[in-house]
A and B are shown apart, each in its own frame.
Chain A
Amino acid sequence: MLTQGIQLFVQELSNFLTLRTLFDVLWATQLGMIVGMLPGLTATMGVALMTTLTFHLPPTNAVLILMCMYIGAIYGGGRTAILLNIPGTPANAATAVDGHPLARAGRAGEAIGIGTTGSFIGSVIGMLLLATFTPIIGRFALRFQSFEFFWLAIFGVVISGNLTAPKDPLKGWISGFLGLFVAMIGMEAIHAHVRFSFGHRPLSGGIDLIPAMVGAFGFSEIISMMKHTRVELIQTKIERVIPRLKTIWGFKRTITRSGIVGTFIGAIPGVGEDIAAWVNYDLAMRSSKKPEEFGKGSLEGLIASETGNNAAVAGAMIPVLSLAIPGSAPAAVLLAAMFIHGVRPGPLIMVENPAFVSSVVAMVFLGTVAMLVLGLSAVKQIVKVLLVPRSKLMPIVFTLCVIGAFAINSRTFDIGVMVMFGLLGYAMREMDYPVAPMVLGIILGEILDTNLRRALVISRGDLTPFFTRPISFALFVIVLLSLVSRTSWFISGRKALTGAIVGAVRAMVGRVRG
């Protein structure tokens, strides 16, 4: 079975090795990276755009271009997160937490190199899991139902709050819950009832994630960049972009874990690269030997989030192929594109068209390699962005924020949303509230809203299933731990407990030896 799979993969890969196809791979990945870097243009929009443009190409070439676009966009967003502290797509918000401090310390080249390598390895791990475990993981993802989605939404907000406000998680949680509330504005998805719009027509359509994100990260960053009378130009010495094997090997556990966990999270329908990045960042910090470096420029944190979000890309393809259910928003568009090209993935694809699965694996492989090559080439030029004086750079960034906010729905209302969230985001920063949990809250708000109410309807108002279904229970415990682990009595208690356990173990070991 495995050898047959490898055979199929090699065969499909060799089919792609024509000059024309390789050219397609390169430009699609590069365009994806640009889309990812521009604030406001997301992977979803990029893939949707290319779907129409590639309609006339043969199906495999079209899907290949879309895959490369997707991979490139998720990776490209990390660039701006590192260099400008403005994540290009929501998936890169966790990357900014450690990536930007590194850039400020003059280590932008190193950060990009590590991020790129992480993305590459994440993608490869995801690809391997995609190739081998597609049917099993696909089935498992189906066990996430309304009750589980409710906990997942809460979990996302809580850990994001913990991670971005390490000193004061309360403010992180407030930011996250405010984000969840923002998602309540406008027409709700179950009964089409308009909430909190107070008769304002554009508001009844709700506040779109992208303008809010572009404002909260982009515009607020512009204000804080411009406010100081004097800034030191960051002197970036590029000695090495491609990281040493030793460095990467040192993170082998973080990378492997992030790749596997990222793929699984990507595979859960409706939950995407953004959550994958946060969860992996959280796991990396918990298991790190140097958790105090997180948030101040930890290479480990950076590599965890970048590995996680790119692994989730491959992960999102798993339910697409095995169940025809998209694992993330860009994957939904990709699935529609496959339908349009007459490829119908689903439970029967392994029986009807096994070559297609290998073919998708080969596509992920090509896109990943292109990402690595393109990502590591031009770093020296890109890092020069940091040398551009802010009075010249920031107006360009703001221009892109405006057009990026506008581009999604072509509404000037969204430009207003961007500006308002920029001002709000700036005020929040000044008072030590992180903005990332708010953005994640806006993403997760609808998931929370519809799944909680649906779960209540299904259980006829009974709350016990939230705690008794196996996955629900596990998620509940994790959420509870994430909450109490940040209170002082828990931390001191844990220290005492681990001390006692270590002491007891030592004593026992001593006795056995003795």
Chain B
Amino acid sequence: MKKLIVMIAVLAVVAVAMVFARGVREEDPDVWEPTRPITVVVPWGAGGSTDQTVRPLAAVLEEELGQSVVVVNTPGATGSVGTAEVLNARRDGYTWTSGAVKDLATYRVRDLLETDLDDWVLFLSLAQVNVVSVNKDEPYQDFAELAQAFLDRPGEIDVGTAGVGSAGHTAIQLINRYRPIEYTEVTYGGGAPAVTATVAGEVPVTTQLASEQVDMIRAGELRPLAVLSDEPLKLEGVDEEIPPITNWIPEFEAAPIYFGIFVPADVPQNVINTLGRIWDETIVGNERLEQLALESASVFAPKWGEEARTAAFPMVQLDAWLAYEMGDTVMRPDEAGIPRP
């Protein structure tokens, strides 16, 4: 017993010493060596698109940085709750957020959070596309039949999405812009529950991301009608490709939705430099991340900084102006620095 007490006491002293010893190292302008765990907030539920993008990334970064990268799910309100927490945290480079660029960029115009892209440095890894799918028992065999049904029975057909600002919400609004239709939007807490509800038959149609539907499409539970892109989408393990929506709406202009990690722009420069170097040297060409992207029906597209911003911006413009036209915003997007596409 005595030995035990001595051992515990020694352990405690060591622990206290370790606690006090942190944070005394000198700063190097280029190299960042984190001395304690880094938190990356996933402002969506566990298991969603953002979560699945961030967790593997976190594991790779952990190896590169030599420090734990802890993923914290803080869902709520299109991701603005978790992002607000990162904005309120100390800007020491130890707290990041994540998600889709189009959400981050439109928080201000949607009156969800006072922030825009200038406040962040983007480190992106994936791009995703939307797919219009119906429950396998629905009669619609192609997109034209579904579009006709929307016209024949205005307002009667339910569309399952993850709510305001979600990928599925933007997708059905975009379709609406090219081919005005009346529909009833039924919102769920996330992409996965919306897809589940479509499989269960609570709603007939969903417009969520391909990555959220891929397993159900492969299993034949959902029938994909069109991918919101100008190229067909080939899924692993599915023989037929999903036709592009431009087969029916030739003038349709879609843009991929980019997902990644966002670091506040005013953190120490060595944090940004170090992450940028990891992106260029390790993330690009990482076979494991690439394989994961393929399995989840997304495009592996690592980029960071200005390059990332340029790639993601078309979707930001589309989304912001679409929201403005639908009355979802409190200001004109160009007042917030988002010009009309």
Contact = CB atoms under 8 A, between A and B. Distances in A.
Given A143-B200, A458-B203, A342 B81 contact: no
Contact of A332 (B45, B56, B196, B215): B45
A346 B216 contact: yes
A458 B202 contact: yes
Contact of A454 (B112, B188, B196): B188
B35 interface: no
Contact of B163 (A192, A204, A323, A339): A192
B197 A187 contact: no
Given A52-B68, A450-B189, A454-B187, A145 B46 contact: no
Nearest to B37: A52
Nearest to B62: A52
A56 interface: yes
Contact of B72 (A324, A337, A409, A458): A409
A344 interface: yes
A142 B200 contact: yes
Interface string B307-325: 0000000000000000000
Contacts of A411: 85
Given A187-B81, A191-B163, A348-B218, A340 B186 contact: no
Interface string B72-103: 11101110110011001000000000000000
A145 B71 CA distance: 30
Query: Among A187, A326, A332, A336, which residue has the most Cβ atoms of chain B within 10 A?
Result: A336
Contacts of B88: 201
B76 A206 contact: yes
B55 A51 contact: yes
A223 to B, nearest CB: 28
Interface in A320-372: 323-326, 329, 332-333, 335-337, 339-340, 342, 344, 346-348
Contacts of A348: 215, 218-219
A208 to B, nearest CB: 9
A300 B39 CA distance: 44
B260 interface: no
Contact of B158 (A44, A143, A458): A458
A205 B84 contact: yes
B116 interface: no
B133 to A, nearest CB: 14
A215 B287 CA distance: 46
Nearest to A141: B200
B163 A347 contact: no
A146 B200 CA distance: 11
Contacts of A145: 197, 200, 202
A335 B193 CA distance: 14
A55 interface: yes
Nearest to A345: B215
Contact of A55 (B59, B74, B216): B59
A411 B71 CA distance: 15
Given A52-B70, A336-B52, A346 B215 contact: yes
Contacts of A324: 215-216
B158 A335 contact: no
Contact of A52 (B55, B76, B203): B55
Contacts of A188: 77
A234 interface: no
Contact of A344 (B55, B184, B295): B295
B199 interface: yes
A326 to B, nearest CB: 6
A134 to B, nearest CB: 14
Contacts of A325: 192, 196
B164 A192 contact: yes
B4 to A, nearest CB: 12
A333 B192 CA distance: 13
A146 B84 CA distance: 30
9 contacts: A48-B73, A49-B70, A52-B69, A56-B59, A145-B202, A191-B187, A205-B74, A336-B51, A410-B72
Given A56-B63, A346-B215, 6 more contacts: A44-B46, A205-B85, A346-B216, A347-B215, A347-B216, A411-B85
Across the A-B interface, the 8 shortest Cβ-Cβ residue pairs: A347-B219, A55-B59, A346-B215, A192-B77, A187-B77, A336-B47, A142-B200, A145-B202
